[in-house]
């Protein structure tokens, strides 16, 4: 999706004389790669995993673990405001390939297209009209790399132009695919999903006619095909409706996002554009489609019992692993037999990187902080790198093995 959206915009920019063919090909590659990696930094159990890690640092063992950095905003906020997007950048710069300290060694352009938010973890403003400043964008540990990237790209504190396309692709896909998942799992029928989308569009003063029109065209085309083909079960027919509806909605949202980018091109290139493409009035019906899908997801799909059970179970798993592995990092317990065993569970490669980063900090006078503060910061970073880098199944299996044998 990101590659296709990048291609569509790049073709138009070539025709307008804004870029050449070589730049157009580069835009496709950068957008496609950024689309592939954009969620790699998410912890196990997704956004609820982010919340579980942040909450661990707000009370009990986790709050005590902050110790000397508890009142240092730029250091403690990396943990109390845990954010998957910032972790994606750390993964690119350091964690993904551990044969050296450069990670994937990404280009500045790829970093820029991946960097969805622009501020460190202690400076986001959830109420800001500048979307790029509403969530943490990078960690203290990556601040030097981010400064290099910004200098190379010449973007200062603005978002890279291509990040708007990658972000739009993400919004277009997940919003409608979550609705499709709801229909596939039987949470909603196709007709109920369409009715819900129309209702949400009306409630938010959005264009609901496009939703009804796409749904009618979808059902008409599928039903006509069924009449001349093999008989479908009710479930298969529902799936067919939803698949075609999803394809048609994505087509409309891509078209709208591309139009918005081209209309706002001068502002985007000047670094003064503050909105999201799918939320821009220039996106036309795409704005209605994406927002209605998001609203329906919150109202009818995300809060179903199986999802809530999974999230609560995931939160318990994450916080239990943090409790145990902290014993291998806590200066009070890490030299004890049990602490050493807990420390040994953490990835050897991550421990090696931790030692390197600590030595680098020491050589740079601990960046103006005390040795105790920086040692605690990188110790907690090792902890969250490991737990935050787990998959759902790895975290669940490790928790089960440690608790149930």
Q: What is the dihedral of CA 132, 135, 139, 144, to 10 degrees?
A: 10
Residues 216 and 322 in one domain: no
The CB density around residue 224, as the number of other CB atoms within 10 Å, is 10
Pick 96 or 176 by higher pLDDT.
176
Domain end (from 280, 303, 326): 303
Note the pLDDT of residue 232.
75
CA–CA separation, 34 vs 367, rounded Å? 31
Note the pLDDT of residue 405.
67
Residues 376 and 282 in one domain: no
Note the pLDDT of residue 337.
95
Under 8 Å CB-to-CB from 94, ≥6 apart: which residues? Answer: 101, 102, 103, 141, 142, 353, 357
Residue 320 lies in a domain: yes
Residue 149 lies in a domain: no
Residue 94 has pLDDT above 80, yes or no: yes
CA–CA separation, 352 vs 349, rounded Å? 5
Residues 253 and 283 in one domain: yes
Residue 69 has pLDDT above 90, yes or no: yes
Select, from the ranges 40-49, 102-111, 235-244, 254-263, the one with the highest average predicted confidence (pLDDT).
254-263
Residue 303 has pLDDT above 80, yes or no: yes
Are the C-beta atoms of 378 and 357 separated by less than 8 Å? Answer: yes
Joined tokens for residue 34: 């950024």
Note the pLDDT of residue 97.
67
Question: Mean pLDDT score of the chain, rounded to an integer?
Answer: 93
Domain end (from 264, 285, 303): 303
Residue 102 has pLDDT above 80, yes or no: no
CA–CA separation, 221 vs 216, rounded Å? 9
Pick 104 or 274 by higher pLDDT.
274
Tens of pLDDT, residues 181-238: 999 999 999 999 999 999 999 998 888 999 999 999 999 988 887 666 667 788 888 8
How confident is the model over 13-24, as a mean pLDDT?
97
Residues 386 and 317 in one domain: yes
Domain end (from 303, 323, 357): 303
3-state secondary structure the chain: CHHHHHHHHHHHHHHHCCCCHHHHHHHHHHHHHHHHHCCCCCCCCHHHHHHHHHHHCCCHHHHHHHHHHCCCHHHHHHHHCCCHHHHHHHHHHHHCCCCCCCCCCCCHHHHHHHCCCCEECCCCCCCCCCHHHCCEEECHHHHHHHHHHHHHHCCCCCCCHHHHHHHHHHHHHHHHHHHHHHHHCCCCCHHHHHHHHHHHHHHCCCCCHHHHHHHHHHHHHHHHHHHHCCCCCHHHHHHHHHHHHHHHHHHHHHHHHHHHHHHCHHHHHHCCCCCCHHHCHHHCHHHHHHHHHHHHHHHHHCCCHHHHHHHHHHHHHHHHHHHHHHCCCCCCCCCCHHHHHHHHHCCHHHHHHHHHHHHHHHHCHHHHCCHHHHHHHHHHHHHHHHHHCCCHHHHHHHHHHHHHC
Query: Containing domain of residue 22, as a range?
Result: 1-37
What percentage of the chain exceeds 90 in pLDDT?
A: 85
Residue 267 lies in a domain: yes
Under 8 Å CB-to-CB from 22, ≥6 apart: which residues? Answer: none
Residues 198 and 299 in one domain: yes
How confident is the model over 246-252, as a mean pLDDT?
95
Beta-ladder partners of 136: 119
Residues 326 and 360 in one domain: yes
Residues 203 and 279 in one domain: yes
Residues 254 and 320 in one domain: no
Residue 389 has pLDDT above 70, yes or no: yes
Residues 323 and 290 in one domain: no
Residue 55 lies in a domain: no
Note the pLDDT of residue 157.
87
What's the pLDDT band for 335 if we cut at 50, 70, 90?
very high
How many domains, the chain? 3
Residues 318 and 288 in one domain: no
Note the pLDDT of residue 177.
95
How big is the chain, counted in residues? 405
Residue 323 lies in a domain: yes
Residues 194 and 291 in one domain: yes
Are the C-beta atoms of 145 and 93 separated by less than 8 Å? Answer: yes
Residue 123 lies in a domain: no
Note the pLDDT of residue 99.
66
Residue 138 has pLDDT above 90, yes or no: yes
Point out the least confidently predicted range of 85-94, 128-137, 226-235, 261-270.
226-235
Residue 122 lies in a domain: no
Under 8 Å CB-to-CB from 108, ≥6 apart: which residues? Answer: 148, 149, 152, 153
Residue 100 lies in a domain: no
Are the C-beta atoms of 211 and 198 separated by less than 8 Å? Answer: yes
Residue 3 has pLDDT above 80, yes or no: yes
Residues 298 and 319 in one domain: no
Tens of pLDDT, residues 337-349: 999 999 999 999 8
pTM: 0.92
Distances (CA, A) of 183 to 169, 188, 189: 22, 5, 6
């Amino acid at each position: 999706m990101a590659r296709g959206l990048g291609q569509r915009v790049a073709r138009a920019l070539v025709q307008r004389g804004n870029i050449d063919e070589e730049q157009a090909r580069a835009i496709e590659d950068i957008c496609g790669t950024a689309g592939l990696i954009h969620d790699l930094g998410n912890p196990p159990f997704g956004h609820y995993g982010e919340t579980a890690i942040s909450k661990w640092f707000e009370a009990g063992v986790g709050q005590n673990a902050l110790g000397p950095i508890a009142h240092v905003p730029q250091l403690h906020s990396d943990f109390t405001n845990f954010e998957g997007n910032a972790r994606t950048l750390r993964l690119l710069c350091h964690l993904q390939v551990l044969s050296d300290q450069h990670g994937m060694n990404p280009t500045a352009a790829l970093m820029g297209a991946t960097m969805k938010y622009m501020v460190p973890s202690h400076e986001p403003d959830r109420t800001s009209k500048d979307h790029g400043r509403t969530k943490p964008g990078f960690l203290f540990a990556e601040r030097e790399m981010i400064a290099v990237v910004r200098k190379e790209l010449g973007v200062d504190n603005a978002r890279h132009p291509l990040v708007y396309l990658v972000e739009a692709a993400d919004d277009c896909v997940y919003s409608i695919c979550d609705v499709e998942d709801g229909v596939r799992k039987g949470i909603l029928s196709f007709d109920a999903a369409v009715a819900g989308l129309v209702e949400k569009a009306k409630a938010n003063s959005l264009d609901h006619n496009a939703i009804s029109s796409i749904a009618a065209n979808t059902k008409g085309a599928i039903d006509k095909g069924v009449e001349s083909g093999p008989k479908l079960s009710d479930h298969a027919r529902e799936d067919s409706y939803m698949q075609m509806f999803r394809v048609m909605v994505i087509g409309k949202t891509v078209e709208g996002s591309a139009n918005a980018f081209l209309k706002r091109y001068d502002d985007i290139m000047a670094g003064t554009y503050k909105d999201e493409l799918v939320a821009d009035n220039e996106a036309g019906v795409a704005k209605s489609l994406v927002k209605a899908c998001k609203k329906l997801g919150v109202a009818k799909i995300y809060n179903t019992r199986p999802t809530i059970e999974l999230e609560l179970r995931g939160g318990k798993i994450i916080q239990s692993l943090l409790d145990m592995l902290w014993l291998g990092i806590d200066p009070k317990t890490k030299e004890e037999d049990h602490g050493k065993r807990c420390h040994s569970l953490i990835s050897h490669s991550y421990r090696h990187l931790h030692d390197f980063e600590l030595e680098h900090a020491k050589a740079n006078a601990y960046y103006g902080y005390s040795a105790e503060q920086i040692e605690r910061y990188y110790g907690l970073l090792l902890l969250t790198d490991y737990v935050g880098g787990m998959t759902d199944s790895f975290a669940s299996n490790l928790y089960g093995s440690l608790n149930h044998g």
